[in-house]
């Protein structure tokens, strides 16, 4: 139990909270600011690295992920200084993955070389759509041409490049999505994240939706058809799904994100970043201050964390399930039992199995494709008696 | 001792919202019965539900001392009575304890159905009636028209009706003078053997059972040993007093007076409303004419949402029943809902009031099943069975015929809406008995099956008439009709709590409507769910709820674990409010909403 995290690995997440503009669908912690003192931010990240390294001495780091916000707005020097510092703090896995999220604009593409030199070995690009009208509606400030140019630079610079698309957009038909997806797959390198548009509360889209002003969203049935078509087409292109919304060539899965889904330990640094850290045999959930200035002040006073709370066994079990059931390999029933001290009921397992929603193979529990589409309902069932 | 000719006992008859409670407040206030600082609106309505809904449920009493213009001080006893049809029984017995009534009619509205029902009870009790036209300060007031209507519809002289605005305090003095000079004094003989009418009784957690009495003859004092004439039980009077409206002790109650006693009586059920109280020794041998006991007419199941709260529910129901002899209950087991109680009520408002009180005062969330009436089932064996719950319907092969209760419904409505009202009554299998006009208002009298009325008739009536109709009913006895039990099958399993009795000719329509409703009310599951209505083994309507196709969250990374877990916890809490039936979760509101008809 105490070393449970080892089964999922150990990663470091660094959150850069700034964007050029706020996208109307995004509910991540991002802020638009013109005056960013990169030196001050670097100092704060370094301070947080020192603090968290002291808690996790000797652990082998499997991956680092710069997320945001828009971390491609960071100066390459800032990224380099962070990565140099990390090298001094933790032993590193030989195949360590260092990912940076990037916007596909010309300005940022100009920094790709610098990021590569700093040690970044993978970029994940927010291309989102392959037509300019939809990019505008999604509030993106780049064009398809910008994206193509940036993508070419990226694949010249990095071996591993992923990009994101959003589908089930306003007025999008199944046919349109299928041809857009084929186009995307023909240019993809080794990884794609394909997200169905989700209307989140507290976003511009959410407000519009609540007022009945967000028209043309596909029906639930069309959206479900799009999801199934996505699975088929990606498999055709040797980019099968390894998670609900993530597709990769075999072996090119995002190692960092797999740490989350395998319920490993991860440090979260930066405004609003979350972490899961096993300290003295007890898994804790950490959360950092959301507001950039509040976080900076807090770091100056010793820690950027706003809360560090133990996660009780039942909640850990729920988190393991809700993360682990998203990926192809599913979860280990014995690990679940070790975490929670109880087994998932056999009657619920056989009920779900009979419905063709899950597969139970000795210690392994995973969803079928049909089951994965309705994972929330499955989780409801699995967790109801826990 | 108070002289009989200085006593006036009266009640106030009015339709809901016509200003009865406000007028009572003014009478109490203007005679300084209650200090201004203690005054609050609807003083006599002590329950939260009464204040909120603006209705009176229990009869309340207040004694007012009034110094009249003739220089004498009079004792005025007001019994404030419920205005709603469900509590008509309380009205009728309160009427028997007083000699006169104020008939309050909103001068902007006119006579309503409930005004009629209550005023007829006052007439039946031989009351002197003083019409009061209220709300005369409002622009829409039309005293001439309303006075004419009172004469036309009710048939009493309204030429010297009082003109009042209880809200603004206009005409209050005149009302008090009218009570003294126009209502008769009570009669009675102080020296005769004690005859006291048991008007009402209720449980008070400090005092035990409190008994409201009206003395007809003789004198009742503290420490007297009294006898209940119905069953011969003897009690010793511990406290004796009057309401002002809070309890105030007195030495004795003489003829014509209204007051309360306590006498170590444990349960409300030990007192019979309408009973005659006399002295143990040298008591009267003649009982006053009693009241007929009230009978529950509407039944429904009450189940705790959380089955662990069953015992709490039992406790709550028992406590409420202590104080409400008209509320009956017995344990019920439902395959869908678990353990609960089948409860009998005087009507729908009574049902709602009890349900609200359980939820609020005892903090128990309830599932209420569809209200049902009592059917008389005549078996081939010649036996007659009373059916309170459609789920208990016996095998049809053993049934000869069924009878259902009918009511005489009186509906008053502006003639603009009359067409809609007639259609509604027709749709509910009504037979028109009478249709008359008074000015621009129509009065429709219908013979209706009670089972078409108990559920949502009143809601529908309000909605098709934009709230302008008023409605009252009386039970009319039983009549044979072609009634069948309609079962609902969800995923091929019958859900007992959704069974209803319907008329054969309307079964298909009701079945279709219920299946469609349930299709919207039940959330999608992992599999498709057939929803069927059936009579016996024959399916008469069917809908299919499609399977859930996609609900997975698109993005879930390290920062989403906590939020997502909390979301699942919330769903889990929501799930607990559903009832699992076979493999299907049915939300609790479905058990009632499925039965609401849109036309």
Q: What is the residue-wise DSSP string for A137-159? A: HTT-S--HHHHHHHHHHHHHH-S
Are B429 and B544 found together in one domain?
no
Interface list for A 197-256 with B (CB within 8 A): 197-198, 220-221, 223-224, 227, 244-245
Domain assignment present for residue B292? The answer is no
Other residues' Cβ atoms within 10 Å of the Cβ of residue B372: 23
Q: Domain ends where: B182, B211, B241?
A: B182
B120 in the same domain as B261: no
The CA distance from B516 to the nearest CA of chain A, in Å, is 20
What CATH number corresponds to the domain at position B206?
Answer: 2.40.30.10
3-state secondary structure of A292: helix
Q: Are A35 and A84 in contact (CB under 8 A)?
A: no
Residues B310, B257, single domain; the answer is no
A220 to B550: CB separation less than 8 angstroms, yes or no? yes
- Sign of the dihedral defined by the CA atoms of residues B266, B268, B272, B277, in that order: positive
- Burial category of B467 from C-beta neighbours within 10 Å (exposed 0-12, middle 13-18, buried 19 and up): exposed
> With an 8 Å Cβ cutoff, are B561 and A376 in contact?
no
Per-residue confidence (pLDDT) for residue B90, from 0 to 100: 67
CA gyration radius for chain B? 27
Give the model's pLDDT for residue A385: 65
Task: Find all residues with CB under 8 Å of B284, minimum gap 6, and list them.
Answer: B192, B193, B194, B195, B217, B218, B229, B276, B278
Let me know if residue B187 belongs to a domain. Answer: no
CA distance B87 to A214: 51
Q: What mean pLDDT do residues A296-322 have?
A: 96
Q: Is residue B566 part of a domain?
A: yes
Contact A340, A317 (CB under 8 A): yes
Rounded mean pLDDT, A12-32? 91
Considering the domain architecture, whether residues B383 and B465 belong to the same structural domain is answered as yes
Q: What pairing do the DSSP bridges indicate for beta strands B234-236 and B225-228?
A: antiparallel
What pLDDT does residue B599 have? 46
The yes or no reply on domain A4-259 and CATH 3.20.20.70 is yes
Encode pLDDT of A242-258 as tens digits. 999 999 999 999 999 99
Please tell me whether residues B491 and B477 are part of one structural domain.
no
Alpha-carbon span B124 to B137, nearest angstrom: 32
Higher pLDDT, A109 or B387: B387
User: Chain B partners of A221 at a C-beta cutoff of 8 Å?
Assistant: 549
Residues in A closer than 8 angstroms to B575, CB to CB, are 380, 384
Q: What is the CATH number of the domain that holds B590?
A: 3.30.70.2570
Query: Any idea which of A82-86, A170-174, A288-292, B347-351 has the lowest mean pLDDT?
Result: B347-351
Alpha carbon distances (Å) from A67 to A39, A115, A139, A336, B535: 19, 14, 19, 29, 62
Minimal C-alpha gap between B490 and chain A (Å): 18
Query: How far is residue B502's CA from residue B535's CA, in Å, rounded to a whole number?
Result: 10
In this structure, is residue B414 part of a structural domain? yes
What's the confidence (pLDDT) of residue B459? Answer: 76
B443 and B558 share a domain?
no
Q: Do B564 and A322 touch (CB under 8 A)?
A: yes
For residues A162 and A155, what is the distance between their CA atoms, to the nearest angstrom? 9
In a domain? residue B190: no
The reply to whether B435 and B556 lie within a common domain is: no
Phi, psi at B164, each rounded to 5°: -135, 150
How much is the pLDDT for B388?
Answer: 85
Whether B285 is covered by a domain: the verdict is: no
R_g over Cα of chain A = 21
CB pairs under 8 A between A and B: 98
Considering only CB atoms, B549 lies closest to which of A11, A357, A374, namely A374
- Judge whether B278 and B226 are in contact, CB under 8 Å: yes
Q: Answer yes or no: do B27 and B174 share one domain.
A: yes
The beta strand positions in chain A, using DSSP E, are: 10-16, 18-19, 31-32, 61-68, 92-102, 122-128, 160-167, 191-196, 241-243, 246-248, 265-269, 274-279, 282-288, 305-310, 331-332, 358-361, 364-367
Q: Is the pLDDT of residue A367 over 90?
A: yes
d(CA A198, CA A376): 15
Chain B interface residues (partner A, CB cutoff 8 A): 525-527, 548-559, 561-562, 564-565, 568-569, 571-572, 575, 583
Q: Is there a contact between B526 and A377 if contact means CB atoms under 8 Å apart?
A: yes
Whether chain B has a CB inside 8 Å of the CB on A315: the answer is yes
Q: What is the pLDDT at residue A107?
A: 77
* Phi/psi at B325 (5° precision): -70, -15
Give the H or E element holding residue A254.
Answer: none
What pLDDT, on the 0 to 100 scale, is given for residue A326?
Answer: 98
Under 8 Å between Cβ of A19 and A73: yes
Does residue A80 contact residue A28 with C-beta atoms inside 8 Å? no
The three-state (H, E, C) secondary structure of A340-360, written as one string: HCCCCCHHHHHHHHHCCCEEE
Q: Would B506 be classed as within a structural domain? A: yes
Nearest neighbour of A285 by CB, restricted to B550, B551, B562: B562
- My answer on whether B471 and B493 are in the same domain is no
Reported pTM: 0.70
| Strand pairing report for A61-68 and A92-102 | parallel
Residues B135 and B45 in one domain: yes
d(CA B456, CA A197): 42
A interface mutation test: which of B555, B573, B584 has the most A CBs within 10 A? Answer: B555
Chain B residues touching residue A272 (CB < 8 angstroms): 559
Mean of pLDDT over chain A: 94
A357 closest CB neighbour out of B526, B549, B553: B526
Phi/psi of residue A11, nearest 5 degrees: -130, 170
Asked if the model's pLDDT at residue A313 lies above 80, the reply is yes
Based on the fold, state whether residues B205 and B75 are members of the same structural domain: no
Q: What is the pLDDT along chain B (599 residues), one digit of tens a residue?
A: 789 999 999 999 887 778 888 898 899 888 887 766 666 666 565 555 555 554 454 557 899 999 999 999 999 999 877 656 566 666 777 888 999 999 999 999 888 877 777 788 888 888 999 999 999 999 999 999 999 989 988 888 998 999 999 999 999 999 999 999 999 999 999 999 999 999 888 877 788 889 999 999 999 999 999 999 988 899 999 999 999 888 899 999 999 999 999 998 887 777 887 889 999 999 998 888 876 666 787 888 999 988 889 999 999 998 888 767 778 898 988 877 889 999 988 877 788 888 888 988 899 988 888 788 889 999 999 999 999 888 889 988 899 999 999 999 989 888 889 999 999 999 999 999 999 987 778 899 999 999 888 877 877 888 888 777 878 777 889 999 999 999 999 999 999 888 889 999 989 998 999 999 999 999 999 999 999 999 988 999 999 999 999 999 999 999 999 999 998 888 887 777 777 788 899 887 787 778 766 54
Residue B542: which region, alpha, beta or left (left: phi > 0; alpha: psi -120 to 50)?
Answer: beta
Residues of chain B found within 8 Å of residue A351, distances taken between Cβ atoms: 583
**Domain residue spans of chain A:** 4-259, 330-386
pLDDT at B204: 79
Nearest to B579 by CA among B329, B369, B297: B369
Give a yes or no: residue B293 inside a domain. Answer: no
Domain boundary among B136, B153, B182: B182
Write the DSSP string, A214-227: ---PPPHHHHHHHH
Q: Helix crossing, A76-89 with A38-55: angle to 10°?
A: 20
- pLDDT score recorded for residue B4: 93
Give the lowest-confidence range in A10-24, A37-51, B260-274: B260-274
Indicate if B95 and B110 belong to the same structural domain. Answer: yes
Question: What integer pLDDT is reported at residue B91 of this predicted model?
Answer: 73
Give B-chain residues touching A287 at CB under 8 angstroms: 562
Reduce the DSSP state of residue A25 to 3 states and report it.
Answer: coil
Return residues 322-341 of A near B (CB < 8 Å). Answer: 322-323, 326
Q: Which domain holds residue B140?
A: 4-182
How many structural domains compose chain B? 5
**CATH number of residue B87's parent domain:** 3.40.50.300
Task: Note the pLDDT of residue B86.
Answer: 64
Domain boundary among the residues B444, B465, B481 is at B481
Contact criterion met (CB < 8 Å) for B572 and A383: yes
Mean pLDDT of A20-48: 91
Chain A residues inside the 8 Å CB shell of B550: 220, 223-224, 227, 373-374
**Directed axis angle between helix B561-576 and helix A313-324, to 10°?**
100
Q: Please state whether A119 falls in left (phi above 0), alpha (psi between -120 and 50) or beta.
A: left
């Amino acid at each position: 139990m105490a070393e449970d995290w080892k089964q999922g690995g150990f990663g470091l997440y660094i959150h850069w909270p700034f964007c050029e503009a706020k996208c109307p669908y995004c509910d991540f912690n991002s802020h638009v600011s013109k005056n960013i003192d990169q030196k001050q931010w670097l100092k704060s990240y370094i301070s947080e690295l020192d603090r968290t390294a002291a808690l996790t001495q000797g652990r082998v780091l499997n991956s680092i992920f710069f997320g945001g916000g828009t971390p491609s707005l960071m100066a390459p020097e800032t990224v380099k200084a962070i990565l140099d510092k990390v090298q001094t703090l933790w032993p590193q896995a030989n195949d360590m993955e260092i990912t940076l999220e990037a916007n596909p604009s010309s300005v940022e593409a100009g920094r790709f070389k610098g990021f590569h030199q700093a040690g970044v070995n993978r970029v994940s690009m927010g291309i989102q759509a392959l037509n300019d009208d939809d990019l505008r509606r999604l509030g993106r400030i780049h064009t398809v041409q910008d994206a193509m140019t940036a993508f070419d630079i990226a694949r010249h610079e990095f071996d591993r490049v992923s990009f994101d698309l959003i589908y089930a957009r306003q007025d999008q038909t199944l046919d349109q999505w299928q041809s857009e997806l084929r186009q995307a797959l023909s240019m993809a390198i080794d990884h794609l994240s394909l997200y169905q548009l989700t209307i989140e509360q507290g976003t511009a889209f959410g407000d519009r939706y609540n007022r009945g002003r967000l028209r043309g969203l596909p029906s639930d049935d069309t959206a479900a058809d799009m999801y199934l078509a996505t699975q088929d087409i990606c498999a055709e292109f040797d980019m099968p799904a390894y998670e609900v919304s993530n597709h990769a060539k075999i072996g090119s899965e995002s190692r960092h994100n797999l740490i989350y889904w395998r319920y490993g330990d991860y440090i979260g640094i930066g405004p609003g970043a979350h972490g899961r850290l096993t300290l003295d045999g007890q898994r804790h959930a950490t959360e950092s201050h959301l507001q950039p200035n509040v976080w900076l002040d807090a770091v100056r006073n010793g820690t950027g964390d706003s809360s560090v709370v133990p996660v009780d066994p039942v909640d850990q079990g729920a988190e393991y399930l809700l993360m682990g059931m998203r990926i192809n390999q599913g979860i280990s029933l014995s690990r679940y039992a070790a975490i929670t001290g109880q087994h998932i009921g056999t009657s619920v397992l056989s009920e779900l199995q009979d419905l063709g929603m899950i597969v139970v193979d000795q210690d392994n529990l995973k969803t079928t494709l049909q089951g994965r589409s309705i994972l929330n309902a499955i989780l409801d069932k699995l967790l109801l008696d826990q | 001792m108070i002289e009989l000719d200085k006593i006036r006992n009266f009640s106030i008859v009015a339709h809901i919202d016509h200003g009865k409670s406000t007028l009572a407040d003014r009478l109490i206030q203007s005679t300084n019965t209650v200090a201004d600082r203690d005054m609050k609106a609807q003083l006599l309505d002590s329950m939260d539900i009464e204040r909120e809904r603006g209705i009176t449920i229990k009869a309340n009493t207040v004694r007012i001392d009034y110094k009249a213009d003739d220089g004498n001080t009079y004792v005025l006893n007001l019994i404030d009575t419920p205005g709603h049809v469900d509590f008509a029984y309380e009205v009728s017995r309160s009427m028997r304890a007083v000699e006169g009534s104020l008939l309050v009619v909103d001068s902007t509205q006119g006579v309503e159905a409930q005004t009629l029902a209550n005023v007829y009870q006052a007439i039946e009790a031989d009351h002197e009636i003083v019409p009061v036209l209220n709300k005369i300060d409002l622009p829409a007031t039309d005293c001439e028209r309303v006075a004419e209507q009172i004469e036309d519809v009710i048939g009493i002289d309204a030429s010297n009706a009082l003109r009042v605005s209880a809200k603004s305090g206009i005409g209050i003095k005149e009302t008090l003078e009218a009570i003294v000079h126009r209502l008769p004094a009570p009669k009675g003989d102080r020296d005769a053997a004690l005859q006291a009418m048991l008007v009402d009784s209720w449980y008070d957690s400090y005092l035990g059972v409190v008994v409201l009495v009206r003395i007809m003859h003789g004198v009742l004092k503290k420490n007297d040993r009294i006898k209940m004439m119905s069953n011969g039980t003897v009690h010793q009077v511990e406290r004796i007093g009057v309401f002002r409206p809070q309890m105030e002790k007195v030495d004795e109650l003489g003829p014509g007076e209204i007051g309360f006693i306590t006498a170590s009586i444990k349960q409300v059920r030990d007192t019979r409303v309408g009973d005659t109280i006399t002295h143990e020794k040298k008591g009267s041998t003649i009982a006053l004419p009693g009241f007929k006991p009230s009978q529950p007419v509407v039944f429904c199941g009450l189940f705790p949402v959380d089955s662990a709260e069953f015992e709490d529910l039992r406790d709550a129901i028992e406590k409420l029943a202590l104080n409400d002899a008209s509320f009956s209950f017995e344990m019920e087991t439902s395959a869908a809902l678990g353990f609960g109680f089948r409860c009998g009520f005087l009507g729908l408002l009574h049902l709602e009031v009890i349900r609200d009180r359980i939820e609020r005062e005892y903090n128990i969330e309830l599932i209420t099943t569809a209200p049902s009436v009592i059917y008389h089932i005549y078996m081939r064996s010649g036996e007659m069975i009373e059916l309170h719950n459609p789920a208990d319907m016996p095998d049809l092969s053993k049934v000869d015929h069924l009878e259902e209760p009918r009511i005489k419904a009186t509906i008053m409505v502006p003639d603009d809406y009359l067409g809609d009202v007639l259609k509604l009554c027709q749709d509910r299998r009504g037979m028109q008995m009478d249709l008359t006009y008074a000015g621009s208002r129509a009065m429709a009298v219908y013979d209706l099956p009670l089972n078409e009325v108990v559920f949502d008739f009143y809601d529908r009536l309000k909605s098709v008439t934009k709230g302008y109709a008023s409605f009252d009913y009386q039970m009319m006895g039983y009549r044979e009709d072609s009634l069948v039990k309609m079962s609902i099958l969800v995923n091929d399993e019958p859900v007992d709590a959704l069974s209803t009795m319907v008329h054969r000719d309307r079964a298909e329509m009701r079945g279709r409507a219920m299946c469609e409703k349930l299709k919207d009310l039940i959330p999608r599951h992992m599999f498709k769910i057939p929803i069927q209505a059936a009579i016996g083994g024959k399916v008469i309507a069917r809908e299919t709820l499609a399977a859930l196709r996609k609900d997975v969250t698109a993005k879930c990374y390290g920062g989403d674990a906590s939020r997502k877990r909390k979301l699942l916890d919330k769903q889990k809490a929501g799930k607990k409010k559903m009832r699992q039936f076979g493999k299907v979760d049915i939300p609790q509101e479905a058990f009632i909403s499925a039965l609401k008809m849109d036309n």
